[in-house]
Amino acid sequence: MLVACEFSGVVRDAFAARGHDAWSCDLLPSESPGQHLCEDAINVAWRSGWDLMIAHPPCTHLAVSGARWFKDKRDAQHKALEFVRALMAAPIPRIALENPVSIISTSIRKPDQIVQPWMFGHPETKATCLWLKALPVLVPTNVVQPDYMRRKDGSYATDKKGKRYSRIHWMSGRKGSAERGRERSRTYPGIATAMADQWGAA
């Protein structure tokens, strides 16, 4: 199985721990030891022999959280969507493509499922969309109470409209854009474990 656009090794390692011949690929080297290809994900995905692919295409130009900059990056958005289409069209029997709430929903199709880390044992809020091909939706494995960023006095940190800040958003907000993107792109281990247990046997 292939985990496309993954440098952390989290999903790859979850499948490998269950006996699968799991590979990750990314233009970045892997942060953990394992079978990893430093190559373009499209080239790797279109090679024959894969039974399953989980893809995490970069969301920089796709996520609706960056909507205020959309008018300035039409070309980048077009290229990002073509990248997604090429991954979705890869000749692999079972495919899951993961991204935050993004323009994939309006430009290609709506996701089959939206999951949150708190459905899989992590008290974080981070809506994650899944576009599936020949795979079942993920069943929550450990639903916990979501938590949010708190101030020193214990009150929740909110924006001007009173919306609570997710902890991952707040924790990565002071880092540079490249590091922030890397931190936010990591798959939570609970979700990776659910993918390996449920899709590895599909």
Structure tokens at 50: 């894969």
Give the residue among 35, 33, 16, 36 at the shortest CA–CA distance from 25. 36
Phi, psi of 83 (to 5 degrees): -60, -45
Q: In whole angstroms, what is the distance from residue 80 CA to residue 78 CA?
A: 5
- Residue 87: its H or E element: helix 74-88
What is the distance of C-alpha 86 from the center of its chain? 17
Q: Across-strand partners of 24?
A: 3, 36
Give all domains of the chain, ordered by start, each with its CATH number. 2-146+186-199 (3.40.50)
pTM: 0.83
Q: Across-strand partners of 97?
A: 55, 131
Q: Is the pLDDT confidence value at 66 over 90?
A: no
Structure tokens at 103: 């323009």
DSSP 129: E
What is the distance of C-alpha 148 from the center of its chain? 20
Highest-confidence segment of 74-83, 158-167, 182-191:
74-83
3-16: b or e for each residue (b if 16 or more CB lie within 10 Å)? bbbbbbbbbbbbbb
What value does the mean pLDDT take over residues 179-191?
A: 74
Structure tokens at 140: 């929550």
Q: Is residue 11 within 8 Å of residue 192, measured between CB atoms?
A: yes
Q: Is the pLDDT confidence value at 173 over 70?
A: no
Q: What is the pLDDT of residues 99-121, one digit of tens each?
A: 988 889 999 999 999 999 999 99
pLDDT band at 33 (very low <50, low <70, confident <90, very high): very high
